[in-house]
Structure 1
Amino acid sequence: MAFSSGCRIGAPVAAILLLGLAAAASAQLSATFYDTSCPSALATIKSAVTAAVNSEPRMGASLLRLHFHDCFVQGCDASVLLNDTATFTGEQTAFPNRDSIRGFGVIDTAKAQVEAVCPQTVSCADILTVAARDSVVALGGPSYTVPLGRRDSTTASLSEANSDLPPPTSDLADLVGNFSRKGLSVTDMVALSGAHTIGQAECKNFRSRIYGESNIDAAFAASRQANCPQSSDGDKNLAPLDESTPDAFDNAYYVNMLSQQGLLHSDQQLFNGGSTDDLVSTYASDAAQFSADFAAAMVNMGNIGVLTGAQGEIRLICSKVN
């Protein structure tokens, strides 16, 4: 965007304009977007996702995380799905993504099945968004209505993937700021963090916490140290983010916080004498409130920076532009 006379738009004004554009784009999304053009789309996606999660429960967490890593970089435009080529560098080799994000095969399967019934109609961005919802449902979490009509990007941003995805070492202020820059509230941030009620983390991402932090239950730390040595050995060894019910989407993640059993530094920051303590306590005691707030936050996150109308494209294959 250019401005005459060399004028430079101020940051607050730019932020307002960007939020306005995002709101206008998300307003074009509709839960009934494919009712006429591809009425079997949602059922087809759900079938592929449910089969994958039933085969490997951890895949549910991976698909949910893949959606998050997509939306926080350029918006929910399926840019994370683009493979590198000789002339194109995507987001998958960014530090937060490298050897970490997974689930691409499930999205590819769902896309192929949708293409078989509705050629070049349903975007990869919508498939990824619906797959995240269906993963949550498959593991016992809340269902919610997904607004649809996203289109796929023809670009990706390695630099943005490196800078905009919050690391597991984030403090509370970092988390609040990171989510705020994406137009998400503190409530959204705390509720979305509840996705860590499923899935696993690598030893390298929680080693410093279990060996060097004081706000951690001693028995819990010892149990995690058994599979995560203090040396660099075992970097990729996995531990459940919620060891009590690792494959069930529930509110146990917040109960763990109350007992100082957050696996990641960023997890325990949500209940560490700060401004989000009360909200964590609420979710720990009220599973229904967590479910409602999580569903609302997922819809809000799914609206970040979407492409609609004539923007972008409908990719034939999710891993490459047409």
Structure 2
Amino acid sequence: MKFLDLWQGRTGRLPYLAALIISSAAIVVLPFIAGTITMAYAAGMDPAMAIVRALLRPLLLGIGLLVMGGPLVFFARRRLRELGLSGVWLLLFPIGPLQMLFAFGIASASLGVWPLPTTSPVTGLPFWFEMAFGALLAVLPSGDYLEHSPKKILRFAHFATTCEGRLGRQTFLLHLSISLGLILAIVLGQMIIIGVLGIFSPIRGLARPGAQSISISMLAGAAALASALLTGFVMMFVTASTIRRLHDLNQKGWWIILFPFGLPSVLTLTFLANPLMLASLLINPFTALSIVQGLGCLILLIWLLSKRGSDLDNTYGLSVNPPDLSPSSA
């Protein structure tokens, strides 16, 4: 049986739950394993060893993430299909937790697994929400929960995240504009909340010791969770729109895999204007990878906005282009 046939299939709750537990446990200890191997084979004060450590540990983390996280992505996609959800829901889970754990593994200098440093993403509400969503996939029975739901909000979620069909240039540009507006609104909302919390912080002494700080921390955590959810939804919306635009050009949506961090990665191109960030390319291959795929996203975006889609029906649906009434077409 071909791998594509396996990928297009469906998975029940128990196989998915087993993959979730095994992969998550392996990823949690991944930074410890990578750090131990690095110190065992690249220890010492020699500057050459420092360069080897800087390259070896990220390389081990990347290989480990693919080996340990790949099966989880595979089973999660099949499970999503069983629940009538498109592949862009992988941006919520398990891609989100995998990316955060991966970032923690790169940034943390500690080789310990527990207790976790306060800078670890697993101490934040967004991480546990995503993990709860992943666990929910193992609990829900099979069924279509969005497309044929009696609730309008769920049908809207299906419309915004579906990868089926085609999308013309004008509609794709409209979707990008809406997404940009939502991102700006999220950033502005965060700035307002931070400003409000900053105003209330100086009057902590008016409350019981610790009570005010706890309330502010809870508000900050709730704001961070809401921001993460809205940002995740926008990313799902943009990704689904990009896949449908690729379909209009008679291209497979799989091309989106080359740009796993989406349009926000274009911002990494600003690193090229910073000499310090540019120098970090020599010791951090992940920064270079981010810049390369950010440039790829920019090229893809220009191509999607400039090229006219197919005027003929294709395997992805009917043509969405208006008929060409110019004299040259006669």
TM-score, normalized by length of structure 2?
0.30
Structure number with the bigger relative contact order (C-alpha 8 A, sep ≥ 6) is 1
TM-score, normalized by length of structure 1?
0.31
Structure ranking higher in helix proportion: 2
